[in-house]
Amino acid sequence: MMGQERRYPDPAVRVLDPRFKALTIASASVECLYQGARWSEGPVWFGDGRYLLWSDIPNNRILRWDEATGETGTFRQPSNNANGHTRDREGRLVSCEHLTRRVTRTEYDGSITVLADRFDGKPLNSPNDVVVKSDGSIWFSDPTFGIDGFYEGERAEPQLKPGVYRVDGQNGEVSLMIDDFVGPNGLAFSPDESVLYVVESRSVPRKIYAFDVVDGGRRLANRREAIDAGPGTPDGFRVDVHGNLWCGWGMGTEELDGVRVFTPQGEPIGHIALPERCANVCFGGRHRNRLFMAASHGLYALYVNTQGVRGA
């Protein structure tokens, strides 16, 4: 297992713009917390239990890393090829499942509630990533990745276009918000929730788009390109309290593998190099200042000088 960098500052934490220095800690380095997954995805932090959950999609399991002991075990297996996770505003686990083509909530007693599995009477494709807004609404992306083969789910013909959906926090109504993306993937709100960012992960080059959230959070408007990834491959991402985007990045060349950090204006300011392609991230720890990175076979972490948006 890769250990912690012995030199400070860690050369893996790369400053692309002087503004990134304020977000780094000179005496903090990238740590490898676990190796042994087949494809790591969807990290989510449980501060009340001091543990992190994340998906190992092809191995059909959700793993759990405990902060107090540093040990990793299995939280749920089978997981229905779960991918992205988050917590709702009551602290319950919300998960995207490829195999069952649904979004679920794990109740306090461990029972499972299905939040969405169909739209217009047709089965969803394979819910991928998910975020919860402060009004309780649940937003998720639904590409076809989990039904394209038998590695992360089971092959099936899509009956719906890839899309981004909203589940109303009060009545559970499912609404289609975006229906013209090629491979909608990671999504996150700006700190004030006035903007929704969404990764289009099958366009060439990949791009991250921004939308204004209007009509009391029930509609998106003013679609615009926020980030042109060029040779990069953004996947899942999270936003810090300053509005910066911390994006899973890589696949193809070593210099791209890791996490790429952008300002709210889409300017690249920093990069955290990892020996593997990073799929998704989340902020955790007591002060939400520890960045957890789900990267291919492993799980990594880095203390940073900022905090993740509360509830993200």
Annotated active-site positions, please? 235
Please indicate if the annotation marks 305 as binding a ligand: no
Longest dimension (CA), the chain: 57
Task: Report helix, strand or coil for 19.
Answer: helix
- 80: annotated binding-site residue? no
- Asked if 213 and 237 count as a contact pair (C-beta separation under 8 A), the reply is no
Residue 233 in 3-state DSSP? coil
Distance CA 303, CA 287 (A): 10
Angle at 295 between CA 19 and CA 64, to 5 degrees: 110
Single out the residue of 226, 291, 289, 231 nearest to residue 263, CA to CA.
Answer: 226
Secondary structure (3-state) at 238: strand
CA distance 212 to 193: 9
What is the sign, positive or negative, of the torsion defined by CA atoms of 54, 227, 192, 28? positive
Distance (Å, rounded) from C-alpha 195 to C-alpha 139? 13
Please check if 185 is assigned to a binding site. Answer: yes
How many other C-beta atoms are found inside a 10 Å radius of the C-beta of residue 114?
A: 13
Rounded distance between C-alpha atoms, residue 273 and residue 30, angstroms: 9
DSSP β-bridge partners for residue 268: 262
41 is in an annotated binding site: yes
Residue of 3, 57, 51, 82 whose CA lies nearest to 297: 57
Residues comprising the binding site for substrate? 128
Residues comprising the binding site? 41, 128, 185, 235
Residues comprising the binding site for a divalent metal cation? 41, 185, 235
